[in-house]
Amino acid sequence: MKSNVFIAVTVDGFIAREDGNIDWLSSFEGTSGQDYGYLEFFRTIDAIVMGRNTFEKVLSFGVWPYKKTPVFVLSNQNIEILKDLSDSVSLIRGSPQDIFRRLEEKGYKNLYIDGGKTIQGFLREGLIDQLIITRIPILIGKGISLFGLLERDIQLSHIGTIDFDNGIVQDKYEILEK
C-alpha cells in the first residue's frame, strides 16, 4: 500500500494560520482556471485518512468534495458524522502503523493522507511514499507548519516541478528513507 500527500503551503511553509484558517488560499483558487493536478491525483487514491481538524475544516466548506470515497477521520475524540456521510466517513483510532495495517488488510492500495498532525505522524513512522507540495506565493509569517519539528533527516528524491502562470509552484517528491 502507498500513502500520498497532496497539500498547499505558503512559501514560508505553513498549511494554515495558527487558528486553522486557510483564507490566504482562497485568493489563488481557480485563478489560473485549473485544479493544479488535484483531480488527476484524486483518481489514483482509494481512501483518505485525515485528522479531525481537517475533517471539520472540510465540513465548513458546505459541499463534501470526496463523494463516496472512503474517508477515515483520525481522532481520539468522538466526532459527529452527518447521516448523509455515514456511508463513506468513519472514525478511526490508533497509531499510524496500526491504521496503515488495518487499511491495508481491508484491501486499500493508495491512501491520501491529509492534515498537519496526521501527515507528521505518518511521516515520522515512515509511512509516506510521495509528497506533492503546492507552494502558494504568499508569506503569512506564522501558522501551522506542514512538517513541524523532525526527529531525524528524511531523504527525498525530487520527481519534478510544475510552474504555473500565477506564481504557484508544485513539487513532487518520493521519500527515499522510511
Query: 169 in a domain, yes or no?
Result: no
Q: What is the pLDDT of residue 79?
A: 86
Q: What is the pLDDT of residue 29?
A: 67
Measure the CA–CA gap between 15 and 71, rounded to whole angstroms.
20
**What CATH number does the domain containing 134 carry?**
3.40.430.10
Which tens digit of pLDDT belongs to each residue from 106-161?
999 999 999 999 999 999 999 999 999 999 999 999 999 999 888 889 999 999 99
Instruction: Enumerate residues 6+ apart whose C-beta is below 8 A from 176.
Output: 155, 156, 157
Query: 167 in a domain, yes or no?
Result: no
Whether the model clears a pTM of 0.75, i.e. scores above it, the answer is: yes
Question: Which structural domain, as residue segments, surrounds residue 77?
Answer: 6-156
Query: 176 in a domain, yes or no?
Result: no
Helix (H, G, I), strand (E, B) or coil at 38: helix
Which tens digit of pLDDT belongs to each residue from 53-79?
999 999 988 889 999 999 999 998 888
Measure the CA–CA gap between 81 and 104, rounded to whole angstroms.
23
Query: 132 in a domain, yes or no?
Result: yes
Report the candidate in 10, 6, 50 with the shortest Cα–Cα distance to residue 27: 10
Query: 39 in a domain, yes or no?
Result: yes
Query: 64 in a domain, yes or no?
Result: yes
- DSSP assignment of 73-117, as one string? EE-SS-----GGGTTTEEEE-S-HHHHHHHHHHTT--EEEEESHH
How many domains does the chain contain in total?
A: 1
Q: What is the pLDDT of residue 1?
A: 95
In this model, does residue 30 exceed pLDDT 60? no
Query: 165 in a domain, yes or no?
Result: no
Measure the CA–CA gap between 56 and 38, rounded to whole angstroms.
20
Percent of the chain whose pLDDT exceeds 90: 78
Alpha helices in the chain (DSSP H): 23-26, 38-42, 52-59, 96-105, 116-124
Query: 75 in a domain, yes or no?
Result: yes
